[in-house]
Structure 1
Amino acid sequence: MKQLLITDDDSNSRTLLGHYMTKEGFRVLEAQNGREAMNVLAQQSVDLAILDVMMPEVDGLALCEYTRRNYDIPIILLTARDQISDKEQGYLSGTDDYVTKPFELPEILYRVKALFRRYSLASSDKIRLNELVIDRKNYEVVDGDEVLLLPLKEFELLAQLAEYPGRLFSRDELIRLVWGSDYGGDERTVDVHIKRLRKRFPHTDRGFVIHTIRGVGYKLEVPSQ
C-alpha cells in the first residue's frame, strides 16, 4: 500500500484530503507544518508528498527543496495562488506537480496516480554507491569486474537501505519492508543480516557504510570520494 504524506496547516483541508485518499486505498500520514513533516519523513517510509505552500515555520517551498534533496519521491505543491511566477518558484523548488486551490478531490487522485506511473517508469533498476552497483533486476551487486550474489534477504535489505542513503530506518520498519508485515520472527533478524552485510563489504571508503543508531535502527551512508 502506497503511503502519502499530507502537510497543511489547515486541519480541515488535511482531514478532507486524507479521508478521501484513504478511501481510495492509500495509507495517509499527516503533518501540520514543515518541521513536523521533516520528522515524519525521517521516521516513516513515504511514497509521495502533498505539501501546502503557505505554512508557518517552514513553508512549502522550503520543505519541497528539503524533500527533493533528501528523498527520491514525487511531490505535489498546493497553493491558493495561480500566478506564473508562483508556479515557477514551485518547480524551481523541485516539485513534480502544482495544484491551485480550490481543487476537486478527484483531480488530486488523478495527479497522484499519474506521478506514481511516471516514477515507476523512470525508476532505475540500478543503485550506484560509488564503485558498487546494486542491480535490483538481476539481484546482484557489481564491484568493478566482480559480480557478487547475495542471499535474497541480505540483498533486499541492502537495496532498501541504499535506495534512501542517509535515511534512518527503524528495525521494525525494515522487518515490515523486507520480510513483510506477517513475518513471525523478531527484530534480531535485522541485526544478524546487517552484521553479515558489514562482513561482506568491509571497505567503508569504497561503496557505503551502515551506521547503527542505538535503540532505533540503521542507516546507510555513501562516503564522498
Structure 2
Amino acid sequence: MRLLVIEDEQKAGEYVQRGLTESGFVVDLARTGPDGLHAATTGHYDLIILDVMLPDMDGWQVVTELRRTIETPVLFLTARDALNDRIKGLELGADDYLVKPFAFAELLIRVRTLLRRGPMRELDVIRIADLEIDVPKRRVSRGSMRIDLTAKEFMLLHLLAKRSGEVLSRPLIASQVWDMNFDSDTNVVDVAVRRLRAKIDDPYEQKLIHTIRSMGYVLEARG
C-alpha cells in the first residue's frame, strides 16, 4: 500500500517514512502544505499522514481542500493537544489523530486500523435507533429529548457512534478521548462510560451502549 506523509520537520518526517517503509509500505514524503496537497490530489494513496503545523498552508487548510475532491483516510499528527484543536481536525474531515510525541508502534497500529476501515467520510449527523448526534452543532438527542453532554462525554459518544457495531477497547478509547496510555489500574474509561450511560441509556427502554466482557464497549441498536 502507498502512503503519503506531509511533515515539515526533517527528522520527524524521515523517522516516520523510514519506519513505515520498513513495515512494508511505499511511502512518499512532502514537506509543505502546497506540495502535500498537490501530491495527494495528483497521485493515488491509500492513506495520508498529515502534520497540522506546516509552512505556507497548515494542516487544517490542506484537509479542507482534500475533502473537496478525495476521500482518502487522513491521520493527523499534531503537537496541539487542546480539545478544540482535536475536535476541529475531525470535523474538517480527518479520520484519526495522534498527538506528538508518540511511539512508532502506536502510529503503526493507527495506520493499519485506518487501512482496514478504508475510505470514509465523517457524517454531519449520526443516527442510531432514536439517538441523533449532530456533530457540527454538538447536539445530542433521543427521540424528542435533548441531552446535554460535557465535552469529554460528547467525544466519547461520538467515537462510539461513528464506529457503531465495532467493539472498542479501553486502551483505544483512552488514547482517542484522553490522549493517554491506558493503565489497567485506572478506571477513567469505565467511569466515563457509566456517566454517559446515565444520560444516554438509563432513562430509555432500549439500551445502546453495551459492555463486552474483557474486550471493551460497543454502541449499537439490538433487537
Query: What's the TM-score, normalizing by structure 2?
Result: 0.52
Which of these two proteins has the greater Rg computed from alpha carbons?
1
State the SS of the aligned residue for 2:94.
coil
Residue of structure 2 equivalent to 1:107 = 106
Is 2:10 the counterpart of 1:15? Answer: no
Q: Which moved more, 1:69-78 or 1:18-27?
A: 69-78
Is 2:80 the counterpart of 1:81? Answer: yes
How many residues align? The count is 121
Provide the rounded CA distance (Å) in 1 between the counterparts of 2:98 and 2:12. Answer: 14
Is the 2:5–2:50 Cα contact (8 Å) retained in structure 1? yes
Provide the rounded CA distance (Å) in 2 between the counterparts of 1:68 and 1:107. Answer: 25
Is the 2:52–2:59 Cα contact (8 Å) retained in structure 1? yes
Is the 2:51–2:59 Cα contact (8 Å) retained in structure 1? yes
Provide the rounded CA distance (Å) in 1 between the counterparts of 2:42 and 2:77. Answer: 23
Unaligned runs of 5+ in 1: 124-225
Deviation of residue 116 (structure 1)? 1.0
Aligned letter for 2:4?
A: L
Is the 2:77–2:98 Cα contact (8 Å) retained in structure 1? yes
Provide the rounded CA distance (Å) in 2 between the counterparts of 1:86 and 1:41. Answer: 23
Deviation of residue 107 (structure 1)? 0.6
Deviation of residue 117 (structure 1)? 1.1
Aligned letter for 2:15?
A: L
State the SS of the aligned residue for 1:69.
coil
The alignment's C-alpha RMSD in Å is 1.6
Residue of structure 2 equivalent to 1:67 = 66
Runs of 4+ in 1 over 4 A off after TM superposition: none
Query: What's the TM-score, normalizing by structure 1?
Result: 0.52
Deviation of residue 118 (structure 1)? 1.2
Q: How does 1:28-67 map to 2 (within 5 A)?
A: 28-67=27-66
Provide the rounded CA distance (Å) in 1 between the counterparts of 2:31 and 2:107. Answer: 19
Is the 2:75–2:95 Cα contact (8 Å) retained in structure 1? yes
Unaligned runs of 5+ in 2: 122-223
State the SS of the aligned residue for 1:49.
strand
Residue of structure 1 equivalent to 2:128 = none
Is the 1:62–1:93 Cα contact (8 Å) retained in structure 2? no
State the SS of the aligned residue for 2:20.
helix
State the SS of the aligned residue for 1:70.
coil
Deviation of residue 110 (structure 1)? 0.3
Deviation of residue 39 (structure 1)? 1.8
Deviation of residue 43 (structure 1)? 3.0
Identical columns (%):
36
Deviation of residue 90 (structure 1)? 0.6
Deviations 1:91-121 (A, max 9, x none): 111100011000001111100110111117x
Is the 2:41–2:70 Cα contact (8 Å) retained in structure 1? no
Is 2:2 the counterpart of 1:3? Answer: yes
Residue of structure 2 equivalent to 1:209 = none
